[in-house]
Amino acid sequence: MPARLLQIAFFSLLLAACGSDNLRGDGPPASGSTRIRGLPGDAIPRPEARSKYGNGPVYEVLGKRYRVMPSSSGYQERGVASWYGRKFHGNLTSNREVYDMHAMTAAHKSLPLPTYVRVRNLQNDKSIVVRVNDRGPFVHNRIIDLSYAAAARLDMLRDGTGLVEVTAINFDTPAGDRPTRTTTAPAPVAEASPPPSVQPSVQSSVQTSVDPAPLAGSAQIFVQVGAFGERENAERRLGVLAASGIDNAFIHEDASTSPPLLRVRIGPVARVIEYDILVEELENIGITDPYLVLE
């Protein structure tokens, strides 16, 4: 896949050039250190009423409309996380709280405010619990914006982004069952965000991966782009991918289902830049619902 390798190399150099400026503008404290003394523990989930602000059913940011989810129940999504820090420290969040870069919080486009979520870094299996009290990230192909402290806990500070799994923690199930992780792709969720007057995270995802570390351990990340009952349909999807230059796709036969499902996957994918480029290529051929699979 020479063309894609050249594209990845080009974007990596471009992001490296931009990344240093981004870190100076919205990165660690002035000392430049990426460590914080006494990292905070997880946010402690507790039932909370919906915030008065930031929960309007629909809002618009940068010309795009977002829809707030009526409930966080059952929400789970995999994708790219980013983080925001010093540039927004002390600003109001979308629900009119004060953003503290050293607290375990996050921004999300569509979850009700506040919502507690577990965020797992798929690249190193580190996991944290944060309280979502803000809207964002309003950057393509990003699903959650973490506070500086939360990103530090997941070892995301240097890279700026990471491949993660986000699972909502709900209070309608026993504590021992929260949160649960599923292995099947979640249903598509409509995007949403904050009132137009308060958008502290609109620019928060300017931090992009410069050279993310490969996936730790033996697990690998793949991108699933379809599940079919008929081999003919799965092979047709492979043909579409190959015609667009994606030649590392394959069919994974899932024998755990009856009859077996034929899952079309691409990969492995070890870096966010690879995933970003792949998502763009998939969108260009009309595939808009890729799902990250960890094996």
Q: Tell me, what CATH number does 97's domain have?
A: 2.40.40.10
Q: Residue 120: pLDDT band by 50, 70, 90 thresholds? A: very high
In terms of domains, do 202 and 97 share one? Answer: yes
CATH of the domain at 242: 3.30.70.1070
- Side chain identity at residue 184, one-letter code: T
**Residue 211 falls inside a structural domain:** no
Q: Residue 212: pLDDT band by 50, 70, 90 thresholds? A: very low
Give residues with Cβ within 8 angstroms of 96, minimum separation 6.
Answer: 51, 52, 53, 54, 198
Q: What pLDDT does residue 270 have?
A: 87
In terms of domains, do 200 and 226 share one? Answer: no
Query: Is the pTM here over 0.85, yes or no?
Result: no
**Residue 187 falls inside a structural domain:** yes
pLDDT at 34 over 70: no
Final residue before a domain boundary, out of 173, 206, 239: 206
How far is the CA of 1 from the CAs of 4, 95, 123, 227, 269, in angstroms? 6, 46, 23, 24, 14
pLDDT at 61 over 90: yes
How far is the CA of 290 from the CAs of 72, 73, 102, 148, 262, in angstroms? 21, 22, 33, 28, 15
Final residue before a domain boundary, out of 146, 180, 206: 206
CA distance 167 to 66: 20
Decide: 113 and 95 in contact? Cβ < 8 Å.
Answer: yes
Domain span including residue 235: 221-294
The domain total for the chain is 2
Q: What share of the chain is helix, strand, coil (3-state, %, to 5)?
A: 20, 25, 55
**Pairing label, strands 127-134, 105-107:** parallel
> Both tokens of residue 140?
């393509």
pLDDT at 177 over 90: no
In terms of domains, do 255 and 198 share one? Answer: no
In terms of domains, do 183 and 40 share one? Answer: yes
In terms of domains, do 140 and 29 share one? Answer: yes
Decide: 117 and 88 in contact? Cβ < 8 Å.
Answer: no
**Residue 216 falls inside a structural domain:** no
**Residue 214 falls inside a structural domain:** no
**Could you read off the pLDDT of 234-288 as tens digits, one per residue?**
999 999 999 999 999 999 999 998 899 999 999 999 899 999 999 999 999 999 9
CA distance 293 to 124: 14
In terms of domains, do 131 and 64 share one? Answer: yes
Final residue before a domain boundary, out of 206, 233, 268: 206
